[in-house]
């Protein structure tokens, strides 16, 4: 496994090795992203300003604008990276879930990740509804790979597998919307991970039972 | 103050309205706004409650007379909400946005915690249990969350896809179908044909 992963890397490394300037640029971006993630978590999308973010990253606002077009671009970047990481963890849970329900295993992995940083999750959800947010960024926030993974899992769920694609998408959206609702409750009422798991299992139970076509 | 805030939210939008501008419009000091409300989100939640009070007065008298299955009655309740909130879409979206905002403070009543809406959906589910549409071991609180959550989330289609109220209601009807199908008493789900 390791051999396979390393071999192609060696082959392309000399070609893609970034030069010093590109490396410095990359480091700057990362510094900004780290500072911005923290500030968005603390103050929300509206509450965090580019000025604050620049200050926290130890650079000028001009330097921030050299890397990102505006605040929504910066925020979109953070959300995209977060969603990618979430997808990876849900996929890993899918691979190793054994005999249990694949959907619950994926939601569990998502909950573990989100519960570790509920503030960023809240900031994202709140920003999504902010009318001032650009349509393009909003579309980016709504590209939810999670619902795609759930819809995929529905294809092998007894009683649901035969329903048409559009129905599966509606069901997958319902499951993920229910998940978001549970996390919102977790944030506002300080639920434990176990309480979250219990609610998720009951919600998915109702939706899956209601989706079976016999 | 609430009237001034409401008018200001309508004119300039929730984001652009400040506590200072609300105070100015109401002809009071900034301090007296803060003595009644903990935050702007709190003002918004009170404005939204007040806006809905007339609607709820009508609904409360109509709800017991709604016809059809439990799912149908539930659909009717939410269809009224879609039609009503869609008229002030931006304000409603700001309200949902604030529902995820931990800075809303203690005083703010976030969307989803509205006692009227929760109460009506709860009554509807309880009557469903009483007449055998809904299985008796249902976790009513959880299902109320699911229904209100689905209702609110559907509004995202109005923000990115310009969905009309009719499209939102159609989608919600499908979701209600799934949820109530999942809530049927066990013998009904296995044996009897589906109604409608």
Ramachandran assignment for B37, one of left (phi > 0), alpha (psi -120 to 50 degrees), beta (any other)? beta
Burial of A143 (0-12, 13-18, 19+ CB in 10 A): exposed
- In angstroms, the separation between the Cα of residue B76 and the nearest Cα of chain A is 20
| B172: its two tokens | 């919600």
Q: What is the pLDDT of residue B104?
A: 46
Distance from CA of A130 to the nearest CA of B (A): 6
> What ipTM did this prediction achieve?
0.78
Q: Are B32 and B96 in contact (CB under 8 A)?
A: no
Per-residue pLDDT for chain A (214 aa), expressed as one digit of tens each? 444 444 444 445 555 566 888 898 899 999 999 999 999 988 888 889 999 999 999 999 999 999 999 888 899 899 888 889 999 999 999 998 877 789 999 999 999 999 998 888 888 887 777 766 666 667 766 667 899 999 999 998 888 888 888 899 999 999 998 998 899 888 888 899 999 999 999 999 999 999 987 6
User: Percentage of residues in chain B with pLDDT exceeding 70?
Assistant: 87
Give the C-alpha separation, A126 to A46, whole Å: 9
Average pLDDT, chain B: 83
pLDDT at residue number A124 = 84
Mutate to test the interface with B, among A47, A130, A197 (most CBs of B within 10 A): A130
Q: How confident is the model at residue A99, as a pLDDT? A: 76
Q: Select from B15, B143, B153 the Cβ nearest to the Cβ of A131.
A: B15
Q: Give A4→chain B minimum CA distance, Å.
A: 43
Q: pLDDT digit string (tens) for B169-186?
A: 999 999 999 999 999 987
At residue B138 the predicted structure's pLDDT band, cuts being 50, 70 and 90, is: very high
Q: Do B178 and A211 touch (CB under 8 A)?
A: yes
Residues of B with CB under 8 A from a CB of A: 13-15, 90, 93-94, 96-103, 110, 112, 139, 142-143, 145-146, 149-150, 153, 156, 159-160, 171, 174-175, 177-183, 189-190
Instruction: Taking residues B33-45, report their average pLDDT.
Output: 86
Could you say which of B97, B139, B159 has the minimum Cβ distance to residue A202? Answer: B139
- 8 Å CB contact between A153 and A81: no
Alpha helix positions (H), B37-131: 40-62, 70-85, 89-99, 115-130
Entry pTM: 0.81
C-alpha A48/C-alpha A50 separation (Å) is: 7
């Amino acid at each position: 496994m390791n051999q396979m992963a390393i071999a192609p890397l060696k082959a392309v490394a000399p070609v893609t090795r970034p030069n010093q300037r590109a490396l410095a640029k990359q480091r700057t971006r990362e510094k900004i992203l780290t500072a911005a993630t923290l500030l968005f978590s603390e103050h929300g999308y509206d509450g965090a300003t580019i000025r604050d973010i620049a200050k926290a990253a130890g650079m000028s606002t001009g330097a921030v604008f050299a890397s990102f077009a505006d605040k929504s671009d910066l925020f979109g970047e953070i959300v995209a990276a977060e969603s990618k990481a979430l997808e990876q963890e849900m996929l890993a849970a899918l691979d190793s879930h054994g005999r249990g329900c694949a959907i619950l295993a994926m939601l569990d992995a998502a909950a573990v990740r989100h519960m570790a940083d509920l503030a960023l999750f809240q900031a994202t959800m709140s920003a999504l509804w902010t009318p001032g947010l650009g349509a393009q960024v909003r579309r980016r926030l709504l590209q939810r790979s999670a619902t795609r993974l759930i819809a995929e899992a529905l294809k092998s769920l007894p009683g649901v597998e035969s329903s048409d694609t559009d129905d599966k998408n509606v069901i997958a959206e319902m499951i993920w919307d229910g998940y978001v609702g549970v996390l919102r409750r977790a944030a506002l009422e300080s639920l434990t991970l176990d309480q979250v798991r219990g609610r998720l299992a009951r919600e998915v139970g109702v939706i899956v039972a209601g989706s079976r076509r016999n | 103050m609430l009237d001034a805030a409401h008018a200001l939210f309508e004119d300039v939008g929730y984001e652009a309205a400040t506590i200072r501008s609300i105070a100015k419009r109401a002809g009071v000091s900034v301090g007296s706004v803060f003595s009644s409300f903990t935050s702007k989100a709190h003002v918004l939640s009170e404005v939204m409650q007040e806006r809905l009070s007339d609607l709820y007065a009508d609904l409360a008298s109509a709800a017991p007379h709604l016809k059809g299955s439990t799912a149908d009655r539930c659909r009717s309740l939410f269809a009224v909400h879609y039609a009503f909130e869609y008229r002030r879409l931006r304000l409603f979206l700001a309200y949902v946005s604030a529902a995820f905002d931990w800075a809303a403070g203690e005083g703010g009543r976030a969307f989803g915690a509205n006692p009227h809406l929760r109460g009506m959906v709860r009554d509807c589910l309880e009557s469903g249990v009483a007449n055998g549409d809904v299985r008796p071991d249902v976790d009513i609180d959880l299902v109320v969350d699911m229904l209100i959550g689905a209702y609110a989330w559907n509004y995202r289609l109005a923000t990115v896809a310009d969905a009309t109220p009719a499209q939102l209601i159609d989608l919600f009807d499908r979701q209600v179908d799934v949820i109530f199908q999942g809530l049927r008493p066990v013998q009904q789900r296995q044996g009897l044909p589906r109604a409608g």
